[in-house]
Amino acid sequence: MSRPMDQVKLDGLLAWFADNPVAANLLMLVILAGGAFGMIDVDKEVFPRFSPHQIEVTAIFPGAGPAEVEQSVCIPIEEAVHDLSGIKHLHGEIRGDTCTIGVEILPNRDREQMMALLRSRIQSIRRLPKQLENIDVLPSDRKDDDGVIWVALHGETDAFSLQRFGDRIQQQLATIPGVSRVRNYGEIGYEISVEVAPEQLRKYRLTLDDVAGAIRQASVELPGGLVKNPDGELLLRVDSRAKDADAVGSLIIKTLPDGNRLRLDQIATIKDGLEERLYTWRHNGQTAQGWEIHTEQDSVAVARQVKSTIEAMRANLPEGLRLITWWDDSQAYDERIGALLENGLIGFLLVCSVLTLFLRLRVALWAGAGIFTSILGAFWLMPMLDISLNMLSLFGFLLAMGVLVDDAIIIGESVHSRQMEGRETPLQAAVNGVKAVALPVTLSVLIVLAAFLPGLYLPGWAGQMMRPICLIMILTLVFSLIEALLILPSHLVAAVESNANPTRLQKLRTKLNQGMDRFVDRVYRPLLKIALSWRYLTVALFAALLILCSGLVASDRVRQSINPDVTKDSFWVSIQLPQSAPYSEAQALATRVENALFALRDELDGVAEAGRDANNRDNVTQMYERSVIVGIETIIWEHGAGIWLELSSEGRQRIKVENFIRDWRQRIGDIGRGKVDFIFKEGDEPYDIELMLGSDQPNILAPAVEQLKQQLKAFPGVYDVIDSAEPGKPEIHLTLKPDAERLGLSLEQLAEQVRQGYYGAEVYRFIRGRKEVKVMVRYPLHERRSLDQLKAQPIRLPNETSAPLTNLAEVELIQGYSRIHREDRQRVLKVQARVDPTLTDANELYVLLEKDVFQTLENQFPGLNIQTGQQRQEQKALLAAFSKNTLIALLVIYALIAVPFRSYSKPIIFLLAAPVAWCGAVLAHWGVGLSLSMESLVGMIAASGIVINDSLVLLYCIRQSGDDRDPPVEALIIEACASRFRPILLAFLTTFAGFLPTLLETSAQAQFLIPMTLSLSAGLLVGMLASLILTPVCYTILDRRRSPVVPRTHAALSSD
């Protein structure tokens, strides 16, 4: 039914929508429908996909040591690419025979184009070792990007058979729609090893090079061209390449003088298996294979499809093998989404309940509907802006819930107060009520938008993490403004309910509002009057609060951390041993740590040792399904190991991770010279401090490093101080003797024969299935175990005779490197240390080092250059960018306030509310013992935006209470503040009610939200005091024309 058009003059868009409910409802339906379609189309994942602005160049020089790799491979590549436009930094690391160079590029450069330029430069390098494997130039993965789900295959079998069977599984996984990459994270290359003992070579007057050459000649695969017959072309091809151990063994190596032919298997042991590597891989104590599944699409949908495929594969598994999925993003997504939706729904109901208790039911319901509409409006645009539904975007939605209702409360309160006066028709009251607060409401939304804009322009991973949060806040606020100004007023056009027969709810609402009015008259008005009278003392008290909170942060009583202090339900353990430790020691320590975990798992599962019957497949399956741990994976390498585990749903409910780790540590016992680190918290790193020392004079690095380590050890709470100059494997250096040179032997010939015997001579490669297989010729392993065997190795001379190596070369043992680090084409030594957070803050220690220690060392060792690690550099760049962006945002906010208020000084009043709100967050973190994290910062930004808005509306009301040419007196300020007390209190109560379920949540899935909700809730509480007390006091101080004498009207107003 249409409203009478002559009751109110329609003079604008706001009035037109208020008088046209059809248009308002259709606009709302369009937003709701768009949001519904957006929810269907939006991608779902645990965390957003993004890649760092870095390219990784990897080169492998088989059999070489770090020093040789650096000189022969790493330095030539660096020199070839360093001057490319767009390169920011080069980070090099050499471990064993592998050189990895991280090429950090500028954010404005196209990564694909930079990769093409890098490949071109590398291909143009003229002198690289001929034994070098292909150089890979690939985009760097995000540090914590480990795929959307893991698949593990394990059983009581050998590694070769399991990997061959696993290849078929990998091929099937790669065909799943949406899967972009299936990475075997512990794959060992295939190899057919031909092992010939030295005595066999002497017996038949052969060398390894002769054997390799004979295999090449006898095993040929070569196209021969075309036979161009008039009737058609025929393809010529020779295909007699041996591709298995039997075929290789049957090859003829030599024709003996008696006419017999010597087959390879008569003089050699031939093994078709995996490359030689000191490596052990177990899952739940059994030989294992495993894959990370990656996708560029909807990660949750892909993970679910992988699980469905694995479920179908299990029926065809051989006896004794088990195939499982774990480290599952879809399960983490479902659990966290469930927790968030439950908390969000309860919070939404609590918000509506609070609104219903203080406002008319119509206002409360439509304010709640406004929240729902704004959220669906954001969903509408999410696919267009490439925003997925993930933990961070949900984080933004939850944060928005505390902000969105503010506009509806202000408008609803304004309309309600006019309707209660009864001097206007419902339509006139709605239109005039909206117009009265349209300017401050619009400004308040623009201010919050400006507060979140800095997060969109942060560098590195922090910017990528903040982007979905900020965009969701911006989208929901824009739709909230549309809903509040164009849709809500139409729904508030209704006559005020008659109180002739009030319902219980109306009676309760009346009592609560009367109680609030009494509180305002008896408590708030007198308190504000005292604050205005003692205005400078009031300002001093708030200043003291700011100084106190600044001191809490500066003194490290409230710690600062980019990542929240939240435990993970999927974590890993790092085991490290000195480079001098044998592989058997790494195996023993890893097995000890693993067995301690098995024992703890058995105890938590309540399973007796006898009950774990590995021979009963059904029992094993049931045992794992009800275990508190989904999987335990152990990978052991030469000087260390890693153990990965994931808690099951039951385990996450029953186990407190800190207690679990403590019990596990106790069961391990003495670990000797090993180090065991439990990485179980967000952002955990084995070492808290990382410093890099470089110089053009390598001889000064060692003493400078030693002195720096001693100074680090002197700080309280600093321990396990190490440097990257830790000795590596001893290197055997060979030098040709003069007698060998006279015999015509060159050093290159000597080196080639030694390499063939120990690393092996590569004969050829072929493809089996989808995997590459190398054919290698070398000595048997038992002939390569001692230095005496090396010295006795027969070396073929140019005159066809042989002599032991010891007669031809000097053998010298030299200490090698365990690893080499390079930064921007310069070798550096890294110094790392751990910090006890209860005694010293790592950030504070960095500041002390940069201020005093670095300068002292650089003066003592001229040419020395000391830098902090990459993580610290990124943190400093992040803080610098955030400070710069925040300053710009504050200037924008200042301008937004200064222009409509026509004042240079009054905007300062609004901005003062923000640091007071931050004080609330700091005090709350101090009280509960949490560190300030990135999530805390987001909550503080949101709280500051809300309290600035409250102050804005409050001052706008004060301004409207007096004449522009005659500043309002204290009585009018008190009256205006009293009239705004209820909407400001409601804004706090609704926000607190919305976040209360999350604050009380004990599940691990919601722990990462607590810093944000705590910051926002506590910030609003203290910020509310700033809006209600500090803002009017500062307004009074800045108003220089205010009369120092309280006018008579004040007494009259106070006595009402």
pLDDT tens per residue, range 163-212 = 999 999 999 999 999 999 999 988 999 999 999 999 999 999 899 999 99
Confidence of residue 649 (pLDDT cuts 50, 70, 90): confident
**Rounded mean pLDDT of 847-859?**
87
What's the sign of the alpha-carbon dihedral 127, 129, 134, 140?
negative
**Rounded mean pLDDT of 931-948?**
80
At 495-507, the pLDDT tens digits run 666 556 777 877 8
Question: Domain 513-557+903-1056 carries which CATH code?
Answer: 1.20.1640.10
Angstrom distance (rounded) from CA 1001 to CA 54 = 38
Burial group, residue 814, by CB count within 10 angstroms (0-12, 13-18, 19+)? exposed
Angstrom distance (rounded) from CA 1039 to CA 961 = 15
- The model carries a pTM of 0.80
* pLDDT score for 882: 81
Other CB atoms within 10 Å distance of the CB of residue 551 = 12
How many residues in total does the chain contain?
A: 1056
* pLDDT score for 26: 94
Give which of 401, 566, 470 is closest to 1005, Cα–Cα. 566
641 vs 571, more confident: 641
* pLDDT score for 103: 94
Quickly list DSSP for 223-280: EEEEEEETTEEEEEEEE----SHHHHHTSEEEE-TTS-EEEGGGTEEEEEEE-----E
* pLDDT score for 16: 87
Angstrom distance (rounded) from CA 811 to CA 443 = 80
Q: Which two tokens stand for residue 131?
A: 């034994």
Confidence of residue 773 (pLDDT cuts 50, 70, 90): very high
At 73-132, the pLDDT tens digits run 999 999 999 999 999 999 999 988 899 999 999 988 888 999 999 999 999 998 888 888
Give which of 652, 656, 676 is closest to 666, Cα–Cα. 676
H helices present in 56-137, as ranges: 66-69, 75-81, 111-123
Q: Which fold has domain 567-681?
A: Alpha-Beta Plaits (3.30.70)
pLDDT score of 1056 more than 70: no
* pLDDT score for 961: 62
Q: Are 301 and 44 in contact (CB under 8 A)?
A: yes
**Rounded mean pLDDT of 494-521?**
78
Show me where the domains of the chain are located.
Answer: 1-44+350-493, 513-557+903-1056, 567-681
Q: Which of 327-336, 849-858, 875-884, 962-971 has the lowest mean pLDDT?
A: 962-971
Q: What average pLDDT does the structure give for the chain?
A: 84
H helices present in 929-1002, as ranges: 934-961, 970-979, 981-1000
Mean pLDDT is highest, among 615-629, 800-814, 949-963, for 800-814
Confidence of residue 1003 (pLDDT cuts 50, 70, 90): low
Q: Are 381 and 38 in contact (CB under 8 A)?
A: yes
Angstrom distance (rounded) from CA 169 to CA 166 = 5
593 vs 874, more confident: 593
pLDDT score of 1006 more than 70: no
Quickly list DSSP for 391-443: HHHHHHHHHHHHHHHHHHHHHHHHHHHHHHHTSS-HHHHHHHHHHHHHHHHHH
H helices present in 719-853, as ranges: 738-742, 747-758, 787-791, 805-808, 842-848
**Which residue is associated with the tokens 């810093």?**
1011
The structural architecture, per CATH, of the domain 1-44+350-493 is: Up-down Bundle (1.20)
At 790-846, the pLDDT tens digits run 999 999 999 888 899 999 999 988 887 888 999 998 989 999 898 887 787 787 888
CA 596 vs CA 455, 591, 601, 662: distances in Å: 45, 8, 9, 12
Q: Is 509 helix (H, G, I), strand (E, B) or coil?
A: helix
Q: Which of 39-53, 379-393, 471-485, 735-749 has the lowest mean pLDDT?
A: 39-53
Angstrom distance (rounded) from CA 354 to CA 359 = 8
Mean pLDDT is highest, among 8-22, 216-230, 657-671, for 657-671
pLDDT score of 625 more than 70: no
pLDDT score of 1051 more than 50: no
Is there a common fold for 1-44+350-493 and 567-681?
Answer: no
Q: What percent of the chain has a predicted confidence (pLDDT) above 70? A: 92
Q: Which two tokens stand for residue 662?
A: 């403590």
Q: Is 303 helix (H, G, I), strand (E, B) or coil?
A: helix
Other CB atoms within 10 Å distance of the CB of residue 106 = 11
Angstrom distance (rounded) from CA 135 to CA 360 = 71
pLDDT score of 448 more than 90: no
At 316-332, the pLDDT tens digits run 899 999 999 998 888 87
637 vs 837, more confident: 637
